[in-house]
Structure 1
């Protein structure tokens, strides 16, 4: 978790993450972009088993390259 916090602080200060190299065979494939929502349970009192469970929808991005073998 500490690594993630360090990376977020660096991003907020203007440092960009390194660009990863992509194979040319993959780069030419069509990119499919989508999203979905999932219901996640939350408690009113964090880190406690007390309180009613409240479900909230969380958006999840989906990215994939389409190809045929």
Structure 2
């Protein structure tokens, strides 16, 4: 049995890279996308969080449009 599936994922770099690539494929950039430093510094049993950061209203509308389309609406 593989116990790593139940372990918290502290290496969130690949998840951030994958999200950045997916957003870029749709023409979306979140400049502040990265690791949330406060949750990274805490080193609790919880893994660090991804900080999505701030974006313009135009970027938020584009993101909502892509998500709606992906959901079939």
Q: What is the TM-score when the length of structure 2 is the normalising length?
A: 0.26
Q: What is the TM-score when the length of structure 1 is the normalising length?
A: 0.27
More helix by share: 2
More strand by share: 1
